Amino acid sequence: MISEKMKAFVEGSSVIRAMFEEGKRLASIYGADKVYDFSLGNPNVPAPKEVNEAIKAIVDEEESTYIHGYMSNSGYEDVREAVANSLNKRFGTNFNATNIVMTVGAAGGLNVILKSLLNPGDEVIAFAPYFGEYRSYVGNYDGKLVEVSADTEHFQLNLEEFEQKITDKTKAVIVNNPNNPSGVVYSEETIIKLAEIMDKKQKELGTEIFLISDEPYRELVYDGAVVPWLTKYYNNTIVGYSYSKSLSLPGDRIGYLVIPDEVVDSEQLKSAANVATRILGYVNAPSLMQRVIARCLDVEVNVEPYNKNRELLYGSLKEYGFECIKPQGAFYLFVKSPVADEKEFVAAAKKHNILVVPGSSFSCPGYVRIAYCVSYATIENSLHGFKELAKEFGLI
């Protein structure tokens, strides 16, 4: 009796989420310390102490009907102002409260902006490998996701193919920097070229093409990598952010959209985002967490635990003969499967209680994603299994 659209979704339901459920099942059989669940980007690093301190201070100091009440659908004015100021300080931009829409995480933000922009049949371009949920989000508004195949050499953007795939139906382009699942940071050089192509195509086709930058991993970078701030390179840029990864708050569902004044018809788009927040049933981003964010904008993000994990896992896998690009951001390794059908490798790994996600979930078959946002001990204890796998597949 469920809708036709949902039937397909339920059948092909998220492999990542299925893995997460499988991990819980295996843990109940073998014990949590004997299951190496690398399936989900669920940060193992606790939220910084400032978050819980802010929560307690807010419920003690602020008025209940304010903390827990309705506000404008786009969020508390003072929180939006604080977010704008924080961005201005970091990126030399000139945003104010009206440029910010507080959202139910980055997923909520992407849905709000896609609902605001897409007419049925509009095309949205994404670069493989990409977070599989983009396909659902675009499909929610009857848009069509157009895929640019992966640059499996450097995992930057395949810009030649990109240019060919822009049509008069292209309404938006999604980039995810640092990238899930590859962990790669798109360089300034890549972004400049991307912007040039989009500017050129806008003129050529007489259309407006929106660049949607999905940046939940912005602060999770290593080796001094710099993530370009995209509104500086291309006018029709909208940024989506989430505190899920930087402050380890994925369950709390808090993030924001930036809609700069430079975006075409920006006033109308801001209104649409406000209304979309309401009618999609979010109504507003969770109020208490909005107030928490206002107090935690300067909290330093601790990437060291992830960096330690990255070094150990990357070093070990390379030693065992696996092929993998060294990620500069996020908390994922995207490892080449030693066998063409990576699902075979995923199944073999599961026999060692190692859960990883097939690359086909990110439109990049032949690879697997390993989310290393787990405890250091989990990585240490999993290494034996990875070594066995390397032997099984003839890498050592």
Decide: 118 and 137 in contact? Cβ < 8 Å: no
User: Which 81-100 positions form the footprint of a copy of itself (CB under 8 A)?
Assistant: none
Q: How many residues line the site for a copy of itself (CB under 8 A)?
A: 83
By beta-carbon proximity to a copy of itself, the closer residue of 167 and 268 is 268
Only one of the segments 281-289, 311-319, 346-354, 387-395 lies at the binding site for a copy of itself (rule: CB under 8 A); that segment is: 281-289
Cα–Cα distance between 297 and 198 in angstroms, integer? 32
CB 277 within 8 A of CB 222: no
Within positions 126 to 165, which residues make up the interface with a copy of itself, using CB under 8 A? 133, 136-137, 139-141
6 or 340, CB closer to a copy of itself?
Answer: 6
Q: Which of 250, 327, 329, 359 binds a copy of itself (CB under 8 A)?
A: 250
Q: Give how far Cα 309 sits from Cα of 38, 156, 222, 324, 383, Å.
A: 12, 23, 12, 15, 12
d(CA 210, CA 245): 25
Binding mask 26-45 for a copy of itself (x = CB under 8 A): --------------x-xxxx
Closer of 269 and 348 to a copy of itself (Cβ): 269
Distance between CA 323 and CA 356 in Å, rounded? 15
Neighbours of 251 (CB within 10 A): 9
117 binds a copy of itself (CB under 8 A): yes
Q: Taking the CA of residue 10 as centre, how many other CA atoms within 13 Å lie in the half-sphere pointing to its CB?
A: 7
Binding positions for a copy of itself, 320-349, rule CB under 8 A = none
Q: Residue 94 CB, nearest distance to a copy of itself (Å)?
A: 22
Edge-to-edge strand order for the sheet containing 170-176?
A: 100-103, 255-258, 237-242, 210-214, 170-176, 123-127, 144-148
Among 15, 50, 72, 392, binds a copy of itself (CB under 8 A): 72
In contact, 263 and 238? CB cutoff 8 Å: yes
Q: Which of 80, 245, 253, 369 binds a copy of itself (CB under 8 A)?
A: 253
Task: Give the Cβ contact number of residue 20 at 10 Å.
Answer: 17
Interface with a copy of itself, residue 1, by CB under 8 A: yes
Question: Binding segment for a copy of itself among 58-66, 78-86, 91-99, 383-391 (CB under 8 A)?
Answer: 58-66
- Closer residue to a copy of itself (CB): 148 or 269: 269
Interacting span for a copy of itself (CB under 8 A) from 80-88, 186-194, 197-205, 270-278: 270-278
For a copy of itself, the binding residues in 197-236 under the rule CB under 8 A are 208, 210
Q: Does 301 bind a copy of itself (CB under 8 A)?
A: no
**What residues numbered 173-202 form the site for a copy of itself, per CB under 8 A?**
none
Shortest Cβ 224–a copy of itself spacing (Å): 28
CB of 319 to a copy of itself, least distance (A): 29
d(CA 230, CA 216): 14
Position among 52, 94, 96, 167 found at the interface with a copy of itself (CB under 8 A): 52
Picking from 244, 252, 235, the residue whose alpha carbon sits closest to that of residue 214 is 244
Measured CA to CA, the distance from residue 76 to residue 63 in angstroms comes to 14
The answer to whether the CB of 259 falls within 8 A of the CB of 235 is: no
